[in-house]
Chain A
Amino acid sequence: MTDKITNIRVAGLGGMGALKATLILGELFFDMGYDVKKAEVHGMSQRGGSIFSDLRFGSRVLSPMIPSGKVDILVSMQPEWSDVHKADLAEGGRVVSPADIDMEKLENPKSLNVALLGVLSKIFPDIPEEKWLEHIRKNFSEKLYEGNLRAFKLGRGEL
């Protein structure tokens, strides 16, 4: 592990599952042995308005919030509103968005968050797929898991 901190921002609108996606990412990277900090805002700001949450991992993370211009990966769930965060991308930073998914094959729009995790999983080839699935499973009921599993596979381009 190097001292480098990786910064992921998940941005979208309240109710899209951005916080859930960040939660899964946080638990995953924590499980992989990293120090993890995750920052988000609840309450009024969630009522359909713009939201974003920051996830940082590395050997030791101090501030839970990503400094300006240091976002390594932006997960832009609702590009019309969330692409504004591109202004915070670091040099060489990348964007993951619904454009990376064959949206016609997405069965349930509510699974977009997990489909985007599928896209993200290809960016971290060192983390085995089972680990991703383990943490997705933990965060959904058995009934919802199957649908989310297909969304994840779709995001990975395996469907």
Chain B
Amino acid sequence: MLLRGGACFVQGNWEGHGKNFYKRFAKVGRHCICVLSMSYMERKLLSGNEAIALAALHSGCSLGVGYPGTPSTEILEEFSRLGGSAQWAPNEKVAAEVALGVAFGSGNALCTMKHVGFNVSQDLFFTAAYSGVNGGFVAVVADDPGMASSQNEQDTRSLARAGGLPLLEPSDSQEAYDFTRLAFELSRKFGSVFIIRTTTRIAHSSTVVSFDSSTAKPKPQGDFERNIPARVMVPAHARPAHVRLRARLEQIEKSADELFNFEYDSDDKSLGIIADGVAYMHAREAAPQAGFFKVGMANPLPVDRIVEFSKKYKRCVCVEEGDPYLNTLLLAAGANVEKRDEKWRFGEFNSDRAKAQIEGDLSYEPKVFKAKPPQLCKGCPHAFSFAAIKELGCIVAGDIGCYTLAAAKPLEAMDIQICMGASIGVGLGLRRVLPEEKARKVVSVIGDSTFMHSGLTGLVEAVYNKPPTGHVIIVVDNSTTAMTGQQDNPSTGAHLDSSPAKAVSIEEVAKAVGADNVAVFVPARQSAEFKEYLSARLAEDGVSLIILKQPCLLAAAKKLKAKKA
């Protein structure tokens, strides 16, 4: 047993990752509570996403809510499959709002998204950090270092630190399970939102998870007590709330540090490594003889403990994916760590890369395999949509989804793609600045799910601040959120669990908002009609919204299968 900083920790075989038995205690306030006590009855091979879903179920999660995004999508699907209550929100901000409502009502909320989705919901998170919660609020944010399926490789650790949000980082599926359960416990105990940061190789890697279903907790009873100063964040209330937040973070660091951050000392004092997430596994494989400080809670970071650790070793290296987050904080605190070369900021780690960084080999280049790029599926009806748009020589402000693949050869029918929903606003900006002849060529192309996510406000902008040449918005509606694996959305008429839902009609929304022209075509059958209609609308000055509606072939097959089942 180990006693330090107000937390005690009984470790069976942590190194074996739960092969035998372990208990974790956290001292919260005056009480020493047993956070987890497990005898690990069952063992399964689970992906990080599946492990988080199972842990949420065992934590008495009242509601799982999120927006699909690789590599986070499977968490809610699995949670629903296991019998949990889960739903897709129109976007991550709404998801976070619903989750906060659950947590204000004493429930346990799980909120999932990819890293760029966190940007969308950040407004809520940065003030929910002040207000705190009285239930449980665990957000899983999945980063994509190396950008397997994303538009950037931002690092959620830096954002969590900026927002005063505690952030946990599992290094395999066992920790994904354990940390999620601990996060729910700690969220309730401290009244704080907790973030779990995964990366592609945590979310989509499968590793062995041991657990005991008999430790599962029931869903908490919903309840609401009025506490205006704590939850109405006007300046007079927010000022003391900010002070409370900083005190809470200090308390969390003291009490939870040793639940998540571990020192594995080595007799060989020539090399110490500070690592987090999956980078820890890569580094352990690359340098088994080194001493390790394994960071599982990156914010608040136990800087003093790590500085102390670093001084025991001749040289220390931070092995981390993404920003030099640990490295910068530790250097500033005077730790005995080497400044990381900028080279290691880009892309994803594996053990070869970890070895190269540790050895200071700046000549290292990852092996790149000649690869066939992804493309629109054979027979995708929306290839026709883009063929017509291209033939008219349009300047295409595009958006995020399968249809972004239209930018690739041979179609090359998309000129711009930045973030969810940006197609409309960016198209409007182009229309404002380009000479008339060119302005008339600008169209915004957006998918059905992306339109629901953040195209609605763009449409309002088009009607409100209509450019002199008007604008044309084309919704490529394949009736699913296809790229992430065919999830339903508010316009498809089905919930996350495939049960029927009231479908929001994009056509009716466009009419209600005040678009001058609204039309619907079936792209594979009405390609010529669509082209003619588009050509006429481009010549006019109105705001037009054209829906090209034809379901994704994969989603249709999936729905048929679900129906049969």
Contacts and interface: CB of A to CB of B under 8 A. Distances in A.
Interface of A: 13-14, 23, 26-27, 30, 35-50, 60-65, 67-68, 81, 84-85, 87-88
Given A37-B206, A50-B372, 9 more contacts: A13-B372, A27-B45, A35-B208, A36-B206, A38-B45, A39-B204, A43-B484, A44-B405, A65-B201
A44 B149 contact: yes
Most chain A Cβ neighbours within 10 Å, of B74, B369, B375, B405: B369
Nearest to A54: B205
Contacts of A84: 369-371
B38 to A, nearest CB: 19
A158 to B, nearest CB: 28
B367 A64 contact: no
Nearest to B144: A43
Nearest to A64: B205
A62 B374 contact: no
A76 to B, nearest CB: 12
Interface string B190-218: 00000000001100111110000000000
Given A41-B149, A41-B204, A64-B207, A50 B483 contact: no
Q: Which of A26, A38, A63, A67 has the most CB of B within 10 A?
A: A63
A60 B201 CA distance: 18
A45 B371 CA distance: 10
Q: Which 3 A-B pairs have the closest CB atoms?
A: A43-B70, A43-B149, A49-B374
A40 B204 contact: yes
Interface stretch (B160-168, B281-289, B445-453): B281-289
Q: How would you classify the secondary structure of chain A's contact residues: helix, strand, loop or mixed?
A: mixed
B410 interface: no
29 contacts: A23-B206, A26-B45, A30-B208, A36-B207, A36-B208, A37-B172, A39-B201, A39-B205, A40-B205, A41-B149, A41-B204, A42-B71, A42-B149, A42-B204, A43-B70, A43-B483, A43-B485, A44-B374, A44-B405, A47-B377, A49-B374, A50-B371, A62-B285, A63-B278, A63-B350, A64-B206, A67-B351, A84-B370, A87-B367
B378 A44 contact: no
B372 A64 contact: no
A65 B484 CA distance: 23
Contacts of B205: 37-40, 64
A47 B374 contact: yes
Contacts of B377: 47-48
Contacts of A61: 207
Contacts of B83: none
B501 interface: no
Contacts of B350: 63, 65, 67-68
Nearest to B207: A37
Interface in B62-76: 70-71, 73-74
A47 B402 contact: yes
Interface string B1-28: 0000000000000001000000000000
A62 B149 contact: no
B265 interface: no
A43 B68 CA distance: 10
B156 to A, nearest CB: 18
Given A37-B206, A38-B206, A68-B352, A45 B148 contact: yes
Contacts of B70: 42-44
A48 B375 contact: yes
* Interface-central residue, A35, A44, A81, by most chain B CB under 10 Å: A44
B376 interface: yes
B373 interface: yes
A26 B285 CA distance: 20
Contact of A44 (B278, B285, B483): B483
A49 B370 CA distance: 11
A39 B201 CA distance: 6
B200 A41 contact: yes
Interface in B342-395: 350-352, 367, 369-378
Contact of B206 (A13, A26, A48): A26
B405 A47 contact: yes
A57 to B, nearest CB: 10
Contacts of B16: 60
A68 B374 contact: no
Contacts of A36: 45, 206-208
A81 B70 CA distance: 24
B374 A63 contact: no
A49 B371 contact: yes
Contacts of B278: 63-64
A16 to B, nearest CB: 11
Contacts of A63: 278, 281-282, 284-285, 350-351
Contacts of A68: 350, 352, 367
A58 B391 CA distance: 56
B402 A64 contact: no
Interface centre among A46, A62, A85 (most CB of B within 10 A): A62
Contacts of A62: 281-282, 284-285, 351
A67 B375 contact: no
B148 A64 contact: no
A30 B204 contact: no
Contacts of A46: 374
Contacts of B483: 43-44, 47
A62 to B, nearest CB: 4
Contact of B376 (A27, A47, A65): A47
B474 to A, nearest CB: 21
Given A26-B206, A38-B45, A44-B483, A81 B367 contact: no
Given A43-B484, A63-B281, A48 B378 contact: yes
Contacts of B351: 62-63, 65, 67
